[in-house]
A = this chain, B = another copy of it.
Amino acid sequence: MRDVYVAGIGITTFTRLEFALSEIASYASMMALKDAGITEVDQVYVANMGSPRVNHQTALASAVVDSLSLTPAGAAAIENGPASGGSAIKAGFQAVASGMDDVVLVAGVERMREVNGLEATDFIATLTHPIAEYIYGVTLPAHAAMFTRLYMDKYGVTERHLAMVGVKNQNAALNNEWAHLQQEITLEGILDSPEAMTNNPYVAEPLRFFDACPVSDGGAAIILVSEEKAKELGRPLIKLSGVGQATDTHAVHEREEPTDLLAVRKAAADAFAMAGLTPEDVDVAELHDAFTILEIAESEEVGFFPKGEGHIALEKGETALGGKIPINVGGGLKGRGHPVGATGVAQAWEIVTQLRGDGEARQVEDAEVGFTCNFGGFGNNVVCLVFEKEA
């Protein structure tokens, strides 16, 4: 298996975008191509969850490869719910690792402005079990709320811990000019003041408004290349050294212990095993905080903290910039935004930015090993990646 390196990265602002879906993907891709200093690729993978429905567009990869004048390169789109981005990076990794392709562009994109309010909630809910959950009206906020309640009962997590994740990540986004949310929040404003119930109402009790990521449009891109090509291009050598993916039961109620996220545990373990590293080696991590509780739970399942102790590490500041293992220093999904298909690629974009030392106000000192956890469905399909800076 050949080694795989990152030669270029690009991103759009995550916000409400007027551009066509393929143009959003192309904008991020052009930045990545320019960053890498290349104009030709062998293969394009586009991560997207809902364009057939939301944008009335299929054959999306054909539109992207044409917009970028990258024909006759091969191109295909990958749909894997919120884990689409990580899954597309995995497919690109295998394309280069196999020796069939030397240069693969992976672009993630979602334009959700066509669906609003309840339709956005319905669209996201289509990633639940079609017969056992979706048809009974289960939504992602409902799933997250039930999970949170169980987690609170079992491990002592409180609404204050959830709010601490929200404040940490949304305020971290102030250091990331590409992030969707650019408004500072405080524990007082969203939890401790008389206005908190108005500022931060329950969405799905015990989860409140500021516990959920926003609905965003946006794109992100990454260029994966062979070792030979990476050296020829002369960019900092960032190796994609670990790739792990795992699935869990599609219906959450079928899990023996619903507070366990076994797919996260296995995907992370597989990624670390491939890289020959452990969670202790990680300097900076991106976890999939679509809801605040998920950052706490994932920080345990990937191995940063013992099960049930993620909220204690959070209290101690261990997951903040300057802490033992800084998580989501670019805002995470909560602050950066969550254009679904783009998210897994945007996580990689942040980690590569950190390993290159380009994080500016949010730079983690001496970051040499980075980690991403891209979480699909309610933990039914997870992709974890390990990136390493080489001297």
A229 within 8 Å of B by Cβ?
no
On whether the beta carbons of A59 and B380 are closer than 8 Å, the reply is yes
On whether the beta carbons of B98 and A1 are closer than 8 Å, the reply is yes
Residues on A close to B: CB < 8 A?
Answer: 1-2, 20-22, 43, 48-63, 65-67, 70-81, 83-84, 87-88, 90-91, 93-95, 97-101, 123, 126-131, 134, 243, 245-251, 262-263, 266, 376-377, 380-381, 383
On whether the beta carbons of B62 and A79 are closer than 8 Å, the reply is no
**4 nearest CB pairs, A to B:** A59-B81, A74-B245, A66-B250, A59-B127
- Residues of chain B with a CB closer than 8 A to A95's CB: 91, 94, 98
Q: List 14 A-B contacts (CB under 8 A).
A: A1-B98, A58-B126, A59-B81, A59-B250, A61-B79, A62-B247, A65-B247, A66-B247, A74-B247, A76-B381, A78-B78, A94-B94, A94-B97, A94-B98
- Residues of chain B with a CB closer than 8 A to A78's CB: 76-79
Complex CA gap A48/B243 in Å reads: 24
Complex CA gap A95/B243 in Å reads: 12
Known: A62-B380, A131-B20. A72 touches B248 (CB 8 A): yes
Contact of A100 among B80, B81, B94, B99 (CB under 8 A): B94
Complex CA gap A99/B4 in Å reads: 13
Contact of A20 among B61, B128, B130 (CB under 8 A): B130
On whether the beta carbons of B52 and A54 are closer than 8 Å, the reply is yes
- Residues of chain B with a CB closer than 8 A to A88's CB: 76
What is the CB-to-nearest-CB distance from A121 to chain B, in angstroms, rounded to a whole number?
Answer: 13
